[in-house]
Chains A and B, each alone.
Chain A
Amino acid sequence: MVESSVLCSEVVSGGATWSHVLKRGTALRITDVEGGANVAAYFLNFELPAERFNLPDTLKAQHTARLTKGHVLYSDMGRILCSIIDDTVGWHDPLAGISNAALVEKKYGKLTYQQAHNDWHQNARDGMLIELGKYGLSPRDLHATVNFFSKVTVDDEGSLQYVEDNSAPGSYVELRAEMNTLVILNTCQHPLDPSPKYAPKPVELSIQRVPAPRTDDPCRTQCRENARGFLLTEFYFL
């Protein structure tokens, strides 16, 4: 469905990397077109990239080890980069990180560009590092990431369990930018995806204008910590 407020939309193929400076006052919807997609994501303050997504601060402020609607993504400076304003999935994985060249070769075998052109076997870490490089950033700038559409649970002993079929076709998650946020996305498979087949799924991205969060915004009222996080983010723009 194309909504009238949508500014632009595009399809990102599986195994690809995408970036955009998501402006304050807009929201990015990521749609898992076929079901079973994985979107690794990383966020930086575009104006001051030394301020970036901080996974532990995000989890402990909101007492959660999964991400869904109502949660926000904190920077290391106590401010909010993006809020999750809508979500039809219910569980996005913040724990397991991203694939790298060695992991992809071990799981799926090596398939070079020379052999397969754009169907070659890509990995999330290299894709994200290249994309960061386009903004003058280096491997040191890549910290912990999140995996949209994927679910990893933890049992009482601490063992990780990848949960299959977490995201149905047409599922989406929507991120509202609370500052001008450099968003880096990668559509490689989740590193714990047990499928032996290299088959990363495409996603559709669309950006629309959204109103500023009101005092009763569900992300702001999620917990007292988020109320303070929004306040500190608003200070930044004074």
Chain B
Amino acid sequence: MATLNLQVSPLEPRTAIKSFVVEAGDAFIYEILKGQTVRIVDLEGNQAVDTLFYNAHDYSDRYSAQDTVREQGSLYLTTGTKLISTQGHVMLTITADTCGRHDTFGGACAQESNQVRYAIEKKPMHACRQSFMKGIQHWKLGPEKLSLAKKDITSNINFFMNVPVTPDGGLTFEDGVSEAGKYVELRAEMDVLILISNCPQLNNPCNAYNPTPVEVLIWEDGSR
């Protein structure tokens, strides 16, 4: 097992300005302002939190998995990782991480990819792409908001998921390295929109076939 880069945060939950519990199978969409810190807590352990970020003022400028891993020279996300947008902006920096490793090449489950991966008849089962679509369709109802469409659902981050690539180019889904109470924390370097699908997957042993809730906490700039 590779070494993990663990970093505890000094921030206390009681000083957070917002907290939300996102149940498995639900979407969460919210604007985070430059300087604010967002923490995602894996409340019960080994939960996959499929997450996308957009420039809050231009949704075509969005998180890019390939640019992020290439610019940091490493496949996995952890403390110190800068999340890079398609236009080369640093969107957020991971400032604390008690899990140690997060995936960004495993993507999100969809009804259609579940048919490929598991069985044709799995189509009716709930999936992350359903939550992403619901999240963005509700968001654009706001009068002042920019709109999002399926074309904006790109390669996401899977917080708390362990998807190692082997030196010979294999890709494996390993047991999670997360457990109850582990968290990852990011500081926004620009105003961003966060879109989460708290993964409802029932076909993959990575979450012990038991998707569970997560908590999202937000602190104001200067709370550290």
Contact = CB atoms under 8 A, between A and B. Distances in A.
B117 A61 contact: yes
Q: Is the interface of A mostly helix, strand, loop or mixed?
A: loop
Interface of A: 50, 52, 54-57, 59-61, 63-66, 74, 76-79, 91, 95-98, 100, 102, 138-145, 153-160, 191-192, 225, 228-229, 231-232
B23 interface: no
A38 to B, nearest CB: 13
A131 to B, nearest CB: 16
- Of B113, B115, B117, B120, most A-chain CB atoms within 10 Å: B113
A50 B167 contact: no
A30 to B, nearest CB: 20
Interface stretch (B10-18, B136-144, B150-158, B191-199): B150-158
B160 interface: no
A78 B169 contact: no
Assign chain B's interface to a size class: 35 or more
A78 B74 contact: no
B112 A158 contact: no
B155 A143 contact: yes
6 contacts: A55-B155, A76-B153, A141-B151, A142-B86, A158-B74, A192-B70
Contacts, number: 136
Interface string B160-172: 0001111101111
Contact of A96 (B66, B152, B154): B66
B83 to A, nearest CB: 14
Contacts of A98: 66
A60 B113 CA distance: 10
Nearest to B4: A157
B20 interface: no
Given A144-B66, A232-B120, A78 B112 contact: yes
Contact of B66 (A97, A140, A156): A97
B29 interface: no
A63 B170 contact: yes
Interface in B64-106: 64-67, 69-70, 73-76, 86, 88, 101, 105-106
Nearest to A228: B116
Interface in B1-53: 2-3
B105 A78 contact: no
Contact of A78 (B69, B101, B110, B152): B110
Contact of A228 (B3, B73, B115): B115
Contacts of B70: 95-97, 160, 191-192
B195 to A, nearest CB: 14
B209 interface: no
- Of A100, A144, A158, most B-chain CB atoms within 10 Å: A158
Interface string B100-141: 010001111010110111011000000001000000000000
- Of B116, B152, B153, B154, most A-chain CB atoms within 10 Å: B116
Contacts of A59: 105-107, 171
A64 B151 contact: no
A154 B110 contact: no
Interface string B171-193: 11100000000000000000000
Contact of A60 (B75, B154, B171): B171
Contacts of A95: 66, 69-70, 75, 105, 165
B223 interface: no
Give the 8 A-B residue pairs with the shortest CB-CB distance, closest first. A56-B107, A97-B66, A78-B112, A66-B169, A158-B76, A65-B165, A154-B165, A158-B75
